[in-house]
Structure 1
């Protein structure tokens, strides 16, 4: 399996993990206190490119804000990274 598809699978899994706490009543926003910085860190470590630094900041803000966890930040980063790699 190519590296880009492994990153896509990891991104989808991490996006789903970021949404899971909202299926447990009362847990959602409390978990985001830990998940917001962790997700930003993971985006930078997984992608290690220029776009990941920007999407990590956006992902941190998105995770920290209430009711915005449905945005698939990891998958968006994967798409942007794939697009940038083709344009280089």
Structure 2
């Protein structure tokens, strides 16, 4: 399986983890999701996505937004020519 599709599967799994409706989990998951986003997606896009991911997980009722999967789509569908230059996770 290609690295990009492994990253897609990981993104979906991380989004599912973020949907779990346990308030205490959000306190731990919000900063962790931001950190993981910076590790999965390098550069300015990864940093911006990490901030968005942190806010999305920290604010109640926004947990349903699939931030990791949206970032994968942005990286590999809309911005694919630049991704090939960025070091993979």
TM over 0.5: yes
Matches within 5 A, 1:30-45: 30-45=24-39
Q: Which stretches in structure 1 are left out of the alignment for 5+ residues?
A: 23-27
Distance in 2 (CA, whole Å) between partners of 1:17 and 1:35 is: 9
Partners of 1:69 and 1:55 in 2: CA distance:
15
Report the TM-score, using the length of structure 1 for normalisation.
0.85
Alpha-carbon deviations, 1:18-49, whole Å to 9, x = none? 112x1xxxxx2211111000000001101223
- Structure 1 residues 1-88: aligned runs within 5 Å: 1-20=1-20, 22=21, 28-82=22-76, 83-86=78-81
Aligned residues: 82
Judging by fraction of residues, say which structure has more helix.
1
Which stretches in structure 2 are left out of the alignment for 5+ residues? 84-89
**4+ aligned runs moved over 3 Å, structure 1:** none
| Cα deviations by residue, 1:53-77 (Å, 9 ceiling, x for unpaired) | 1111011001000111000000011
Q: TM-score, normalised by structure 2?
A: 0.84
C-alpha RMSD of the superposition: 1.4
